[in-house]
Structure 1
Amino acid sequence: MKTRDELSPDTSAELLEVFKALANPVRLQLLQWLRNPEEHFPVEEAIADPHEVGVCVSHIQAKTGLAQSTVSAYMASLERAGLVRSTRVGKWTHYRRDEERIAQVVGVLSHSL
């Protein structure tokens, strides 16, 4: 029998996706950097507001020193988990944290673990 605090199968699957995304230390670091993008990325070189639109993948790539394809794969993983959102500005993709979704995940964890 399911108790009030048990997770539904859908919620469990969503949490597993979040845990998989955060299990990689670089992806975890990227999410931390995106919390305060102006402290970690060159705002003066940005073509859009890093809080409103996000940080350009080329700036993320420059900071990490990783290949563009690797950065894109890492950001796609974070996006599948619902932790970031992407926005296209011209030919560039920008990423920002989804604070509402992150708060939901934290809330589910605080009530179920």
Structure 2
Amino acid sequence: MSAIWQDWIWSVGCNPFSVTSQGWHISQFQSDTIARSYIITTLEESIQLVNSAIHLLVMEHTMENTFGLFQGQERELVNKYNHVVSLWRRVSTVTGELRYVDALRLLYILEEASKG
């Protein structure tokens, strides 16, 4: 366990002798790296959820008894999809402007919208 901990500390720059470290405090570089990683992971998970939902719809056979049900939900599904895509764009734009705190705030909304 000690060797693993030591390797992890060294790899993330928490070693006091590391160029990227300021002792045991997280540097701005490290904080930005963590934020970018979280943003990318959340975007990827959201995209996978939406693609899975689309795949389920594609696999659904069109039948007379289910068509009416789908048609009644069509507007809501399209609105939810457009909302999620809009959030993807906003998160990407804000991240591209290096406004990581603002992007992280949007991720909670994105996670909820992706599950809806």
Mark the structure with the bigger radius of gyration. 2
Task: Give the TM-score taking structure 1 as reference length.
Answer: 0.26
| Structure with greater proportional helix content | 2
| Structure with greater proportional strand content | 1
